[in-house]
């Protein structure tokens, strides 16, 4: 029988068995659960700053202003923490305030009384602070969402995101500068230019400056040069020198840009009459936006919800109540909706109750760890930038709800859980996603079947069939034949499961589940 390899991907804020809390340390940006915990830390900071201001308000106006910013963000979050942190701009601001802004506050407070208060809150055992990796992760995630969903920089800076009902606070020039700086540190000059330009536009309008204009100009000029626009890079550098004639680096940069332009002018004209460009410059021109019809482009278009010509007739899409002659389903049939006929991909509606989802979330909370993938060459499990989430695994014997859910999946699919992996719970963080991948192990992978069941793939319930390859004893022999994917949260935007080869998008709906066969 022919084998059909289903190529799937998930991007957004919520997908399989979404979680809401965990105390695990590190990589806060990879799961919304950890961001929610940061709200408690932020509240403690607001309280500490208020006490400090009560003692030294006369000479600490800067701290008072910063405290007000923290308080405004925390107040907005307190109305609905889940909805607040699901907005990627809010999530970035939260992480930034607890990293870069908190460092500024710490320096201002380090006098005799303030130093003790800073140390007390920073070293508190029950409060959690993000680190520089989290700030970078939050920034990169926001940029990923910007590209995938084609979000305009100016609108994003104003807190307006299509599909998100509650807007976030506007980004300051300093916030935009931080996004540009993080892009620069990742050698992403495309986004550096976008966000440094936004920072420049905003700092010129600010009464109380939140960023240094000359610093913005220097970053913007160099990244503009790296993108190939040497004339504009030279103009920006001249603006910088006009403001700071004795700038330590600008004169050298100006000479280099002028020399590069002179070198370009010396090149002979090509057949089309254009002046050839310096390869060292043009090779650095980068845009992360893929061609619309490329594999990556199709994937992102599906994530945005763009429509493609159907590969099937509408009459092939059916809905029915499924019982499979199982006692449980005779009492409460499964609500089945066919989303794609061949290969068959279906959605089952209302398969999990609110109580069951709450139990699953509670059990998985303390176990969430950064999700891993299997290295194609080495066979080792490792974290990867194309899979941003945290996951945990639950066994049937841990709770009656887990066993009941497993039996329900068996009844609906007609498959046995004896050769299936444990239920996997996955939480996606800021811009959390899992790029196109196979849900089954391929023969050419090193140790293809050695680590199945240890967290190297996303599916929550995976069934195996017999084959030539040897699996671990508890899984018999075979490969993952099917995937059952539960959705345990609703999202205001994003969160789709997509199949690029089939041009199919599945949108998450709380309590529903998707099911498909990986091998046919």
Residues 474 and 505 both lie in one domain = yes
Write the CATH number for 215.
1.25.40.10
Residue 139 lies in a domain: no
pLDDT(132) > 70: yes
Same structural domain for residues 316 and 231? no
Asked if 299 and 316 sit in the same domain, the reply is no
Same domain (yes/no): 156, 125: no
Q: Are residues 250 and 354 in the same domain?
A: no
Nearest to 89 by CA among 186, 9, 175, 200: 175
Q: Are 471 and 464 in contact (CB under 8 A)?
A: yes
**CATH no. for residue 315?**
2.60.120.620
Residues 295 and 315 in one domain: no
- CA dihedral sign, ordered 298, 299, 304, 306: positive
Assess whether 402 and 425 both reside in one domain: yes
Q: Which helix (H) or strand (E) holds 486?
A: strand 479-486
Examine the domain organization and report whether 395 and 510 are in the same domain.
yes
Answer whether 461's CB lies under 8 Å from 483's CB: yes
- Structural domain contains residue 276: no
- Quickly state the pLDDT bin for 375 (edges 50, 70, 90): low
* 355, part of any domain: yes
| Bridge partners for 494 per DSSP | 12
Q: What is the pLDDT of residues 72-111, one digit of tens each?
A: 889 888 888 888 888 888 889 999 999 999 988 888 777 6
**Do 239 and 334 belong together in one domain?**
no
Phi, psi (rounded to 5 degrees) for 494 = 75, -155
Beta strands in 362-472 (DSSP E): 369-370, 373-374, 381-382, 387-388, 390-394, 423-427, 433-438, 461-465
The sign of the CA dihedral 168, 169, 171, 175 is negative
H/E segment holding residue 411: helix 400-413
Residue 56 resides in a domain:
yes
Average pLDDT on 381-409 reads 84
Q: What is the pLDDT at residue 109?
A: 77
pLDDT attached to residue 491:
84
pTM of the entire predicted model:
0.73
Angle at 513 between CA 313 and CA 432, to 5 degrees: 105
pLDDT at 47 (0 to 100): 87
Q: Do residues 411 and 324 make contact, with C-beta atoms less than 8 angstroms apart?
A: yes
Q: What is the mean pLDDT of residues 201-213?
A: 95
Residue 155 domain-assigned (yes or no) = yes
- Quick one: 247 and 324 in the same domain? no
pLDDT in tens, 18-74: 222 233 345 665 667 777 778 888 888 898 888 877 766 655 677 788 889 899 889
Q: How far is CA 471 from the centre of its chain?
A: 33
Percent of the chain residues past pLDDT 70, beyond the cut: 76
When divided into structural domains, the chain yields a total of 3
Give me the half-sphere count of Cα atoms (radius 13 Å) on the Cβ side of residue 149: 26
Q: Closest Cα to residue 174, out of 191, 151, 157, 193? A: 157
Same domain? 100 vs 61: yes
> Are 89 and 205 part of one and the same domain?
no
Q: Among residues 187, 94, 178, 183, which one has the least CA distance to residue 147?
A: 183
What is the pLDDT at residue 314?
Answer: 83
Q: Is residue 187 part of a domain?
A: yes
Using the structure block, give the residue that is written with the tokens 């991909």. 345
Under the banding of pLDDT at 50, 70 and 90, the label for residue 440 is: low
Mean pLDDT score, 404-426: 91
The answer as to whether 479 is a domain residue is yes
> What is the average per-residue pLDDT within 194-204?
97
Residue pLDDT, tens place only, 258-306: 999 998 887 745 444 444 444 444 444 566 677 887 888 898 999 889 9
Is it true that the peptide bond before 343 is cis, omega within 30 degrees of 0? yes
- Give the residue numbers spanning the domain of 119: 27-130
More confident residue, 197 or 384: 197
Q: How crowded is the C-beta side of 87, counted as CA atoms within 13 Å?
A: 26
Whole-angstrom distance, CA of residue 27 vs CA of residue 130: 8
Identify whether 64 is part of a domain: yes
What distance in Å separates the CA atoms of residue 88 and residue 431, rounded to the nearest whole number? Answer: 7
């Amino acid at each position: 029988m022919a084998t059909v390899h289903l190529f799937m991907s998930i991007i957004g804020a919520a997908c399989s068995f979404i979680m809401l809390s965990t105390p695990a340390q590190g990589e806060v940006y990879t799961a919304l659960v950890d961001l929610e915990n940061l709200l408690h830390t932020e509240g403690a900071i607001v309280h500490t700053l208020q006490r400090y201001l009560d003692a030294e308000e006369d000479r600490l106006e800067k701290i008072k202003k910063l405290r007000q910013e923290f308080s405004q963000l925390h107040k907005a979050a307190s109305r609905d923490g889940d909805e607040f942190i699901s907005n990627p701009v809010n999530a970035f601001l939260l992480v930034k305030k607890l990293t870069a802004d908190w460092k500024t506050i710490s320096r201002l407070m380090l006098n005799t009384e303030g130093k003790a208060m800073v140390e007390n809150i920073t070293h508190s055992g029950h409060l959690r602070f993000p680190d520089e990796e989290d700030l970078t992760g939050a920034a990169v995630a926001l940029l990923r969402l910007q590209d995938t969903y084609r979000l305009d920089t100016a609108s994003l800076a104003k807190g307006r995101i299509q599909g998100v009902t509650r807007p976030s606070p506007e980004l300051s020039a300093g916030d935009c500068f931080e996004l540009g700086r993080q892009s620069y540190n990742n050698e992403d000059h495309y986004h550096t230019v976008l966000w440094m330009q936004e920072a420049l536009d905003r700092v010129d309008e600010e009464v109380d400056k939140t960023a240094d204009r000359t610093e913005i100009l220097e970053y913007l000029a160099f990244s503009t040069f790296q993108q190939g626009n040497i004339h504009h890079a030279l103009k920006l550098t001249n603006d910088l020198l006009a403001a700071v004639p004795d700038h330590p680096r600008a004169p050298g940069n100006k000479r280099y840009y002028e020399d590069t332009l002179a070198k370009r002018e010396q090149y002979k004209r090509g057949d089309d009459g254009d002046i050839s460009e310096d390869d060292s410059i043009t090779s650095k021109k980068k845009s992360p936006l893929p061609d619309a019809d490329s594999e990556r482009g199709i994937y992102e278009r599906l994530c945005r919800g763009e429509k493609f010509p159907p590969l099937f007739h509408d009459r092939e899409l059916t809905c029915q109540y499924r019982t499979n002659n199982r006692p449980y389903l005779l009492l409460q049939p499964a609500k089945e909706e066919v989303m794609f006929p061949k290969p068959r991909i279906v959605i089952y509606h209302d398969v999990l109750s609110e109580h069951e989802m709450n139990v699953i979330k509670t059990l998985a909370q303390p176990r969430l760890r950064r999700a891993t993938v299997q290295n194609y060459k080495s066979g080792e499990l490792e974290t990867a930038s194309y899979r941003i989430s945290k996951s945990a695994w639950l066994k049937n014997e841990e709770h009656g709800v887990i066993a009941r859910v497993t039996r329900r999946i068996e009844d609906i699919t007609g498959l046995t859980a004896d050769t299936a992996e444990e239920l996997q719970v996955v939480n996606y963080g800021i811009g959390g996603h899992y790029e196109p991948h196979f849900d089954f192990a391929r023969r050419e992978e090193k140790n293809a079947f050695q680590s199945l069941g240890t967290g190297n793939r996303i599916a929550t319930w995976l069934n195996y069939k017999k084959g030539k390859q040897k699996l671990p004893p508890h899984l018999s022999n075979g490969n993952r034949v099917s995937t059952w994917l539960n959705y345990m949260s609703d999202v205001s935007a994003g969160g789709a499961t997509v199949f690029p080869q089939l041009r199919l998008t599945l949108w998450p709906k709380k309590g529903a589940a998707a099911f498909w066969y990986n091998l046919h």
